[in-house]
Amino acid sequence: MSTEPARGVLSAADRHRPTVRWSIRVAAAVLLLAVAIAGAGPILWVAKGAISPSLELLQEPLRLWPTEPQWENLLLAWRELRVGRYLLNTVVLVGGSWFVQLLVATTGAFALSVLRPRYGRFIYAAVLATLFIPGTTSLVALYLTILDLPITGGSIANTPWAVWLPAGAQAFNVLIMKQFFDALPRELYEAAMVDGAGTWRLFWQIVMPMSGPIVAVVSLLAVMGAWKEFLWPMIAISDTEQQPLAVALPRLAESAEQNQVIAGMLIATIPPLVIFFVFQRHIVRGIGFTGLKG
């Protein structure tokens, strides 16, 4: 039964009817054009805008290709607007956020799923409870927290830690990681324990080698999510020298040469696009995983 090709509303017989066949073809052509304009159009426009003279962008935004491509624009944006610096800041923030998220999710889920401490259920419930209260609602309190840390005191505002550490408090990562670990055969752990493996060997040599797929999914979610961040980095890092590209761009857009700002926008867009096309299969699976998370 499952070998039958999947079908939708339309049956093979429907598809043979000329009216259906032609309306499908026409609709497909129209929609392909519309989706291409809406989906790829803006990205291509940014690419074109990045090498166009500013005046031309204002006078003829519909122009397909600049009269004289100004390739040096990208270099100017990199140097004059210091897009390179901001991009580096972004990479540092994204990299650290990725590491913290992965560290918290793997070790936490390992402890809760494999080691199962007596009070584990309560910790897990407290982690899941944060799913109900989106981080945006404790933004103000989080800001005051990073200004004056609860136990140690002192401020981490204006340092990468202010972005890295809060990024780790992602209940969803812990949730899917724990579900994955829960599904691994427990006999393996027991066998390893009998053979005298300690907590670390259990973690590094038994659990982690089997967790490639889930680590990939969490990594993609973490990196793509961190790259998009705007509000929290803007609040947590007010020092313009340390701001990521996403926070710097709106500020630059107010004063700098427009085509250079657009060049900066292009530079900010390329990394997520590259990641998408390299890991397309994983990302589609990731959407299956996150499914209805939104």
Residues between 235 and 254 that touch other proteins (CB under 8 A)? 235, 246-247, 249-250, 253
User: How far is Cα 33 from Cα 37, in angstroms, rounded to an integer?
Assistant: 6
- Residues 192, 201: contact at Cβ < 8 Å? yes
Distance CA 223, CA 92 (A): 11
Return the number of the residue (126 or 210) whose C-beta is nearest other proteins: 126
CB of 71 to other proteins, least distance (A): 20
Can residue 21 be called a binding residue for other proteins (CB under 8 A)?
no
- Name the minimum Å distance from CB 26 to other proteins: 12
Which tokens belong to 134? 């989106």
Closest CA to 200 of 103, 95, 110, 65: 110
- Closest residue by Cα to residue 216 from 271, 175, 177, 254: 177
User: Least distance in Å: CB of 256 to other proteins?
Assistant: 12
> Cβ contacts of residue 201 below 8 Å, gap of 6+?
192
d(CA 257, CA 255): 7
Q: Is 125 in the site for other proteins (CB under 8 A)?
A: no
Query: 3-class DSSP state for residue 117?
Result: coil
CB of 156 to other proteins, least distance (A): 10
Residue with tokens 């929290």, as numbered in its chain: 232
- State which H helix or E strand residue 75 sits in: helix 72-79
Assess 261 for contact with other proteins (CB under 8 A): yes
Shortest distance, position 65 Cβ to other proteins, whole Å: 15
**Per the structure block, which two tokens stand in for 4?**
């039958």
With CB under 8 A as the contact rule, the residue among 81, 87, 206, 268 that binds other proteins is 268
CB within 8 A of 56, min separation 6: which ones? 63, 66, 67
Q: Within 174-203, which residues bind other proteins (CB under 8 A)?
A: 174, 189-190, 193, 198-200, 203
| Residue 75 Cβ vs other proteins, minimum distance, rounded to whole Å | 19
Q: How many residues bind other proteins (CB under 8 A)?
A: 104
* Chosen residue from 22, 26, 40, 79 binding other proteins by CB under 8 A: 40
150 binds other proteins (CB under 8 A): yes
Our CB check for other proteins shows the closer of 70 and 289 to be: 289
- Per CB under 8 A, which of residues 62..121 are in contact with other proteins? 62, 100, 103-104, 107-108, 110-112, 114-118
